[in-house]
Structure 1
Amino acid sequence: MLSIGGFSVALALALFPGSGDALKEGDCEVCAAFLGKFYQSLEGNNVKFNSADIEQALVKLCKDAKGKENRFCYYIGATSDAATKMINEVSKPLSHHVPVEKICEKLKKKDSQICELKYDKQLDLTTVDLKKLKVKDLKKILEEWGESCKGCAEKSDFIRKITELMPKYAPAAAKARTDL
């Protein structure tokens, strides 16, 4: 053991963990955002902060999760088809009001895939020219809305469907487009 001025280096490392454990800006984007919204909803709904109730509420929320949030739920075991069960690694700390960033740090140590999840870049439908987007991107917009375009063969069909549904899913964008 190395001793510097009577203070052991091993003891110093144990008392002051390295910054490698802390999340960096942008790390665990989906984990932090999803759990942050979930925690806020718990406080707003006056849910009892016990592990079992939190776990039950999380499983219920995960049933409706889409995209990257659904993948996060799968990784922690909050979906019916999940192979692992780490949901207690979320519910127990939340019951003690542990910050979501700390929970995500702990989850990262157990499964690094959790912190690799990133939200897809969102298009600003108020300014984007739909005609300049690829069909793949147009399909993605519809998919995010939970819609499909049956019978669409041409790019113009997808654009027409998005424009038709815009008042329902992106009312601000629909209003901005009519003002142009």
Structure 2
Amino acid sequence: MLCLSGLSVALALTLVPSSTDALKEGDCEVCVGFLGKFYQLLQEEDVKFDSTAIEKALVKSCKDARGKDNRFCYYIGATSDAATKIINEISKPLSYHVPVEKICEKLKKKDSQICELKYDKQVDLSTVDLKKLKVKDLKKILEEWGETCKGCAEKSDFIRKINELMPKYAPNAAKARTEL
């Protein structure tokens, strides 16, 4: 009987998730961020919570994804050029309202690259002096907005384009700049 109870204790310990499995603060930043926004969108649009409907909505959301969100979509197979397809690892748990952190923990085990994605630091457009930024950073701002600057040759061209588009993409920053 002693052996049996030792076996049951060992079995119970294997069923308890280890502390290394749990996500730490900042882990899987893109996964948690993207899936959190996606889950909220599903609720707002009143999408039926079955895995097929969720998969379709996920693929649709990934078509508009940019930057790190697009890279995440590629890793899970929700883009047309992806080599693997593990979107069912997201759609099925989401259909049961599993927290996105738990979904990301499982995805981390499948593909560690998913949790290595980090968002780039965001520039505070309301306070930054655009003239002091590098052209590379100005291009990145436009890219995040899904915009390009055709015909831009000088730094001032990029700054002008950003100031022109700021009310559309960063209205609070545009308002703060006009108050200065």
TM-score by length of 2: 0.91
Q: Look up the match of 2:37.
A: 37
Q: Look up the match of 2:62.
A: 62
Displacement, 1:10? 3.2
Within 1, Cα distance between the matches of 2:93 and 2:146? Answer: 33
- Confirm or deny that 1:173 pairs with 2:145: no
Displacement, 1:17? 2.8
Q: Look up the match of 1:144.
A: 144
Within 1, Cα distance between the matches of 2:114 and 2:167? Answer: 34
Displacement, 1:12? 5.0
Residue 57 of structure 1 aligns with an amino acid whose one-letter code is: A
Alignment of 1:7-156 (within 5 A): 7=6, 10-11=10-11, 13-156=13-156
Within 2, Cα distance between the matches of 1:164 and 1:50? Answer: 42
Displacement, 1:105? 0.3
Within 1, Cα distance between the matches of 2:150 and 2:47? Answer: 41
Displacement, 1:95? 0.8
| Aligned length, in residue pairs | 176
Displacement, 1:24? 0.5
**Partners of 2:66 and 2:146 within 8 A in 1:** no
Displacement, 1:15? 3.5
Within 2, Cα distance between the matches of 1:32 and 1:53? Answer: 20
Displacement, 1:177? 1.2
Residues 17-50 of structure 1, C-alpha deviations (whole Å, 9 max, x = no match): 3201000000011111111111111122222111
SS at match of 2:157: helix
Residue 173 of structure 1 aligns with an amino acid whose one-letter code is: A
Within 2, Cα distance between the matches of 1:159 and 1:15? Answer: 56
Please give the root-mean-square deviation of Cα atoms over the aligned residues, in Å: 1.5
Q: Give the gaps of 5 or more residues in structure 1.
A: none
Moved more, 43-52 or 126-135: 43-52
Within 1, Cα distance between the matches of 2:20 and 2:52? Answer: 32
Residue 150 of structure 1 aligns with an amino acid whose one-letter code is: K
Residues 134-179 of structure 1, C-alpha deviations (whole Å, 9 max, x = no match): 1110111111112222222221221122112212221221121121
Q: Look up the match of 2:157.
A: 157
Residue 67 of structure 2 aligns with an amino acid whose one-letter code is: G
Within 1, Cα distance between the matches of 2:17 and 2:91? Answer: 25
Moved more, 94-103 or 147-156: 147-156
